[in-house]
Chains A and B, each alone.
Chain A
Amino acid sequence: GESVGLHLPTLSVQEGDNSIINCAYSNSASDYFIWYKQESGKGPQFIIDIRSNMDKRQGQRVTVLLNKTVKHLSLQIAATQPGDSAVYFCAENRNSGYSTLTFGKGTMLLVSP
């Protein structure tokens, strides 16, 4: 989910579990969505994207689901590993240029061995 204050929502899972990170986006006109991963002390790293004409897209161990009806985006990580521990951001855009790319505040994923 999205942060509403100073503290990031946190998801704690065991190694090998599947993780689901959720994001509620704000603009019904958004037509392009991206998930980024940010490890401690590093910059955000692109994971996967999806356009509004799709409701599901799969990558390596990751799947993004889009529900435009309720403006909801989720990132599923299969067989979560300790190296997946990071903050995950969703971002939305209206395909009108970089100026309208808006990042959410992120969810922290903690993976225990």
Chain B
Amino acid sequence: DAGVIQSPRHEVTEMGQEVTLRCKPISGHDYLFWYRQTMMRGLELLIYFNNNVPIDDSGMPEDRFSAKMPNASFSTLKIQPSEPRDSAVYFCASSLFNFGTGELFFGEGSRLTVL
């Protein structure tokens, strides 16, 4: 398996623009996570899905952020409108088991810069 695949790897955009980040989880994994990583705050959970259903979105910063998982092999994280403080690395991760193993498989991340 190729692992968790994220795109784009890098995105530079201007304030106010819409940003869409994409994720393909590992086939067969039924948990999918979106994390944001910054130097100040470290890794923060934004939202996670189980069997394509959002379970906890309490980490989503505000209404400008939305995430969808239309099927088991694809998820998007959208920011509209984007702001400079959204600049971060966004990671998608997937997992097979109910929590207990801690083994989340992370993608390589999407580095977002909002000017």
Contacts and interface: CB of A to CB of B under 8 A. Distances in A.
Contacts of A45: 106
Interface string A72-113: 000000000000000001010101011101011110000000
Given A6-B39, A43-B91, A93-B99, A101 B106 contact: no
Contact of A89 (B31, B43, B55, B93): B43
Interface in A10-60: 32, 34, 41-46, 49
Given A32-B102, A42-B108, A106 B42 contact: yes
Given A98-B33, A99-B56, A46 B102 contact: yes
Nearest to B58: A99
A105 B38 CA distance: 9
Contact of A103 (B4, B43, B56, B103): B43
Interface string B94-115: 0100011111111111000000
B40 interface: yes
Given A43-B93, A46-B104, A98 B4 contact: no
Size bracket, chain A contacts: 20 to 34
B99 A97 contact: yes
Contact of A43 (B31, B99, B106): B106
Given A32-B102, A49-B101, A98-B99, A105 B45 contact: no
Interface in B25-73: 31, 33, 39-40, 42-43, 45, 48, 55-56, 58
A27 to B, nearest CB: 15
A101 B100 contact: no
A98 B109 contact: no
A7 to B, nearest CB: 8
A95 B99 contact: yes
A98 B106 contact: no
A14 B104 CA distance: 30
Contacts of B56: 97-99
11 contacts: A6-B39, A41-B108, A41-B109, A43-B107, A44-B104, A46-B102, A46-B104, A49-B102, A89-B43, A93-B102, A98-B45
